[in-house]
Amino acid sequence: MNGHPNSWHSTTSRLILIYGSLFVVWCAVLVGVIQWETTRYLNTVIDQMLQQRMHYIASTDPTRLATTVDAAAAIDPHGIMSVGLFDKDHQPVAGNIDHLPASLLRDGQVHLLRHGLPRPDRDAERVRARGLATTLPNGDILVIAKDISTIDGIGAIIRRALLWGISLTIIPGLLGGFLLRRGPEKRIRQLQEATDPIRQGDLSKRLPVSRRGDELDQLASIVNTMLGEIERLMNEVKGVCDNIAHDLRTPLTRLRARLYRTQQQLDGEPEAALVESCVVDIDEVLTRFRALLRVSELEDRHRVACFDEVDVGQVLRQVHEFYAPVAEDRGQTFDVDIQQLAPVRADAHLLFEALANLVGNAIKFTPTGGRVSLRACMDKRGPRVDVVDSGPGIPADERDAVTRRFYRGDNSRTTGGSGLGLSIVSAIVRLHGYALDIADASSSGARLTLYCYALDPDEKVGTCLSRSVPEVTPMTV
């Protein structure tokens, strides 16, 4: 093939991307679960610690309670574990908590302080804390709280570990994915290269099969089996057609000779005209047989060894010289514009035959007073030839069919011919590895474009612009 698909669109790349994404999501979920479980466990431990401290201080002798609270606060000057004693009017009595947290319920249960708790060692900066409060028998309120910002720090450490772990995993993962992708892509390219001659009509070629026995080998084996069966059927059909054409050509030639002799003997007799019409019909049948055998000969691909450097411009001038009198006799204008062209590797006789068929078809289907244009120019990749006519054109739904044997469109029913002209052109084009495009002319008629190089199926190329003849339209066939 002329191009390879984007490697990042391959199945291997997509699987690597999917598995990588699932791995990252799984790691994130795993770390989230670890962080949640760790936080829950630490909060449970803190709650138990606060409950125990509350029970210890609240059970102290009321006369020594304030001293006990101050002693507990002095043990932790940083305020990580804060203790406060407040009177009935919520005024501080002892401890290192200056204000009674308004949102803290006094139910003896541990709660998260909504507005946090000021830390003495951080200029009264509020930190996340958990605490509990209870009302003592004398009406005083005892509050105990603990800074839980360290738990948030542990969560941040876990998240950083996740990011570092993913980063250190993704780099070798991408490298490994790149290496894993190269093997299948190499085999796909080999399969693509092997299909090039098959696409061009050589059904004797087969796809390569390795010894791995994997999915690609299984698919290649299936395709090879199909190709073998298709080749067998095509050869049988082709053989039948060729044998019929070959076997009937000899008796028909003899019959023509006898009719011709009879015509000569009946010279001047009324029956002579009838015999002459029979000879004309037999000539038409023989012409079709010769064309059919010619197509088969070209499809056998035995003439590639005769390829040499050919001047396309010289071949086009010969075609113009050959058909100019024909166009003149039909009252048609035959324009030609051949620019400087690079030589190509081809069989000069076959190239002449293909171009002559294209021009001959254009002249045949162009009415009297019409115009046929023959143009040639250089594209970026090689020479291209446009044959444009002002005839009825070729409908879009018939453009693939007109290159098949014996196909005759609605516009050609009333004209002579065997229906094999474009079949011969198509066979010559495939033999050379060229491309043939059929399109509409800009005004009316058909544009046939012969690219003297391989062309991708979706590739679009501009038309040759004439330097001296009136603008006719892009090439058509």
Q: Compute the chain's Rg from CA coordinates.
A: 46
Determine the average pLDDT of the residues in 326-341. 91
State whether 43 and 182 are in the same domain.
Answer: yes
**pLDDT higher than threshold 60 for residue 59:** yes
Specify the number of domains making up the chain: 3
Q: How confident is the model at residue 2 (pLDDT cuts 50, 70, 90)?
A: very low
Tokens of 217: 């080998």
Determine the average pLDDT of the residues in 19-47. 86
Number of residues written out for the chain: 477
**pLDDT higher than threshold 70 for residue 461:** no
State whether 317 and 286 are in the same domain.
Answer: no
**pLDDT higher than threshold 60 for residue 225:** yes
Q: What are the tens digits of pLDDT across the range 74-130?
A: 887 666 788 889 988 889 889 888 888 888 888 888 888 877 777 665 566 778 888
Determine the average pLDDT of the residues in 445-474. 58
The position carrying tokens 């171009």 is 355
DSSP single-letter state for residue 344: E
Determine the average pLDDT of the residues in 308-318. 91
Which residues neighbour 255 within 8 Å (Cβ) at sequence distance 6 or greater?
A: 282
DSSP single-letter state for residue 79: S
State whether 375 and 323 are in the same domain.
Answer: yes
Q: What is the pLDDT of residue 359?
A: 93
Q: Which of 144, 149, 147, 121 is nearest to 134 (CA)?
A: 144
State whether 319 and 285 are in the same domain.
Answer: no
Determine the average pLDDT of the residues in 319-336. 92
State whether 122 and 219 are in the same domain.
Answer: no
Residue bearing the bigger pLDDT, 375 or 202: 375
State whether 417 and 433 are in the same domain.
Answer: yes
Give the burial class of 291: count Cβ atoms within 10 A of its Cβ; 0-12 exposed, 13-18 middle, 19 or more buried.
buried
State whether 73 and 142 are in the same domain.
Answer: yes
User: What is the average pLDDT score of the chain?
Assistant: 79
Pairwise CA distance, residues 464 & 338, whole Å? 10
What is the signed CA dihedral for 96, 102, 105, 109, rounded to 10 degrees? -30
- Residues of the domain holding 329: 305-451
The answer to whether residue 15 is domain-embedded is: yes
**pLDDT higher than threshold 70 for residue 459:** no
Contact 437, 448 (CB under 8 A): yes
Pairwise CA distance, residues 260 & 258, whole Å? 5
The answer to whether residue 468 is domain-embedded is: no
What CATH number has the domain bearing residue 434?
3.30.565.10
Helices and strands (H, E) in the chain, number of each type: 8, 14
State whether 127 and 155 are in the same domain.
Answer: yes
Q: What are the tens digits of pLDDT across the range 349-370?
A: 889 989 998 999 899 888 998 9
**pLDDT higher than threshold 70 for residue 412:** no
Determine the average pLDDT of the residues in 336-343. 89
What CATH number has the domain bearing residue 239?
1.10.287
Tokens of 416: 């002579």
Q: What is the pLDDT of residue 472?
A: 32
State whether 279 and 382 are in the same domain.
Answer: no
Residue bearing the bigger pLDDT, 227 or 295: 227
Q: What is the pLDDT of residue 328?
A: 92
Largest CA distance in the chain: 157
Sign, CA dihedral 108-114-120-121, equals positive
Q: What is the pLDDT of residue 28?
A: 83
Residue bearing the bigger pLDDT, 15 or 294: 15
Which residues neighbour 306 within 8 Å (Cβ) at sequence distance 6 or greater?
A: 347
Sign, CA dihedral 182-184-188-191, equals positive
State whether 177 and 236 are in the same domain.
Answer: no
State whether 182 and 235 are in the same domain.
Answer: no
Q: How confident is the model at residue 323 (pLDDT cuts 50, 70, 90)?
A: very high
- Residue at which a domain ends, from 300, 321, 356: 300
Q: Which of 120, 144, 141, 119 is nearest to 130 (CA)?
A: 144
Contact 125, 119 (CB under 8 A): yes
Q: What is the pLDDT of residue 326?
A: 92
Q: Which of 115-124, 331-340, 404-413 has the highest mean pLDDT?
A: 331-340
- Residue at which a domain ends, from 262, 279, 300: 300
Contact 409, 435 (CB under 8 A): no
Sign, CA dihedral 292-297-298-301, equals positive
The percentage of residues in the chain with a pLDDT greater than 70, rounded to a whole number, is 81
